[in-house]
Amino acid sequence: MNPESRFLTRPLRDVDAWVRFFCNAEIPVLASTAQCIDEMAIDEDSADVNVLADTINDDPLMTLSLLRHVSKQRRGHQVSAPETVLEALVLIGVCPLFRAFAHLPTVQDWLSDSPEALDGLNHVIAQGYRAARFAQGFAAHRSDPDASVIHEVALLHHVVEMLFWLHAPALALEIIQRQAAQPGLRTIQAQKEVLGIDFRELRLALMKEWKLPELLVQLVDDGRSSNAQVQSVLLAVRLARHTTHGWDHPALNDDIRDIAELLHLGIEPTRRLLPQLA
């Protein structure tokens, strides 16, 4: 299922080369997702689209696979790109989804011989869950009509890290090891040292190449940081990282100040609100 030869061990030439590689790469999903889809497909006529959407929304890799699939299906058609999982399911239909995603490979099998890579992937996914909860909370507080999209984007924010753990785990691990060996080394700098690129530019290039909905592409573009929706995602990702091991990180005061400004709240009300969103 997962011979070592499937993994890249050396960096590719540039961003374009990585885009080509990942556009052709298989994307396994969480075992619970694959099992749920297969079980629901047994009696597809009674499948509940909302339950299916919730299952897919809980799996960033399946969410990505579905959005990519819908993008391919609609190329050349004058149909607006669905921005959420539920919209995508309504567009393509439940039965066609079961046919397109039957017996999916799982990350647990894919990385069965690479426990460090599986741990790394699980950590990234957990960070995504936490960031998504924060982002949706910020959006709800701002009465943002795109709250569900913002939640989805925060969940997918680390999609490139996920793909590296799946297809180039030795390189992903080297980035982590460099940071561990050099306290204070920024993640972006470590990525450039190991790969010659940083994940931000690759993430944006992949989203564009996959022709994902324009709003999703805009919200993963860190260069649009003055946009309140992009800020909701970026601050949620920051806060998720800084509160992974508790609420005493030295950068937390800066996070609270910036989130208070985004939400138009005072510092203390913001400080009290954040743990409720975790």
| 70 vs 66: CA distance, rounded Å | 6
Specify the residue for token string 């790394």: 120
| 213 vs 67: CA distance, rounded Å | 9
244 touches 130 (CB < 8 A): yes
Angle at 167 between CA 223 and CA 85, to 5 degrees: 60
pLDDT of residue 220: 85
Sorted by where each starts, the structural domains of the chain and their CATH numbers stand as 26-107 (no CATH), 111-277 (1.10.3210.10)
Strand partners, 106: 29
196 touches 11 (CB < 8 A): yes
Residue 249 identity (one-letter amino acid)? H
**Residue-wise pLDDT tens for the chain (278 aa)?**
444 567 999 999 999 999 999 999 999 999 999 999 999 999 988 889 999 999 999 999 999 999 999 988 766 555 667 899 999 999 999 999 999 999 999 999 999 999 999 999 999 999 999 999 999 999 999 999 999 999 999 999 999 999 999 999 999 999 999 999 998 889 899 999 999 999 999 999 999 999 888 888 888 887 787 889 999 999 999 999 999 999 999 999 999 999 999 999 999 999 999 999 99
3-class SS of residue 29: strand
Q: What are phi and psi of 32, to 5 degrees?
A: -65, -35
Phi-psi category of residue 184: left, alpha or beta, with phi > 0 → left and psi -120 to 50 → alpha:
left
**Helices 187-195, 199-209: crossing angle, 10 deg rounding:** 70
pLDDT of residue 3: 45
- Burial of residue 82, with CB atoms counted within 10 A of its CB: 0-12 exposed, 13-18 middle, 19 or more buried: buried
Q: Residue 232 is encoded by which pair of tokens?
A: 């909701």
pLDDT of residue 6: 78
| 92 vs 47: CA distance, rounded Å | 14
0.85 surpassed by pTM: yes
pLDDT of residue 2: 43
191 touches 168 (CB < 8 A): no
**Helices 115-141, 169-181: crossing angle, 10 deg rounding:** 80
pLDDT of residue 122: 97
Distances (CA, A) of 94 to 13, 37, 44, 58, 272: 40, 10, 8, 17, 42
pLDDT of residue 213: 87
Neighbours of 106 (CB within 10 A): 19
pLDDT of residue 5: 63
pLDDT of residue 214: 86
Distances (CA, A) of 27 to 60, 169, 238, 239, 270: 11, 14, 26, 28, 38
Q: Residue 45 is encoded by which pair of tokens?
A: 């006529």
pLDDT of residue 183: 85
Q: Residue 206 is encoded by which pair of tokens?
A: 């992949």
